[in-house]
Amino acid sequence: MAFQPSKSKKHMSKEEGTLNLNSMMDMMTIILLFLLKSFSTEGALVTPSEELRLPTSLQGEKPRKELSVSVASNAILVNDQVIVNTDEIDEGMMVIPALEQKLREYAQQERQLELDVGKEFTHEVNIQGDEKIPFELLYKVMFTCSRSAFYKMRLVTIKAE
């Protein structure tokens, strides 16, 4: 059974309280400033996943958004589209045919854009490799890139402090 409300407290007037938001506003302003400072307009350059952990490096310049070739431990992706699974890659071949075909398509598009609207074809490609991929695979990817008109390669890394 619920307690009966106390008679003496029944006629107590409710105290009007106002919430002091000043300190909260201060906090919000600081957070806002901090976030504006680290604001980036380029959007996500890499999509992190379990299969794609970028290696850490001390050096490195500021990345630009270019065509990205991601070499995850299970698949190769171009602009976040899966092209070929790593276990389907032919051991004996230096070139990865599926990747080459896709890159040639992109190169064709870029050249067309250069003709149509004057956007310069930079030949640049960002290679995002998982830290565990073997050199053989990396070399094959780089070889394929250089064969399909993307010869300015950049390795994307996480900057260690």
Partner 1 sequence: MAYKPSMRSKNEPLDIELDIRPVMNLMVVLIPLLIASAEWVKLGIIEINVPPAKNVSAGGGQGEQNDEEKDLRLGLKIAIANDGISIANAQTILGGEEEEGPTVPMTEDESYDYAKLKGKLIEIKEAIKGKGFKDANRAVITASKNIEYQVIIDVMDNIQTYEKDDQILPLFPEVNFGSIIQ
The binding site for partner 1 (CB under 8 A) comprises 18, 21, 24-25, 28-29, 31-32, 35-36, 38-41, 43, 45-46, 48, 54-64, 123, 126, 129-136, 138-139, 142-143, 146-147, 149, 151-159, 161
What interhelical angle do 97-117 and 135-147 show, nearest 10? 40
Residue located via tokens 């053989």: 136
State both tokens at 108.
């064709």
Write down the least CB distance from residue 151 to partner 1, Å. 4
CA distances from 43 to 47, 76, 104 (A): 11, 22, 25
Please identify, using beta-carbon distances, which residue of 6 and 28 lies nearer to partner 1: 28
Please identify, using beta-carbon distances, which residue of 24 and 113 lies nearer to partner 1: 24
Write down the least CB distance from residue 64 to partner 1, Å. 8
Write down the least CB distance from residue 139 to partner 1, Å. 6
User: Quick one: CA dihedral 36, 38, 42, 43, positive or negative?
Assistant: negative
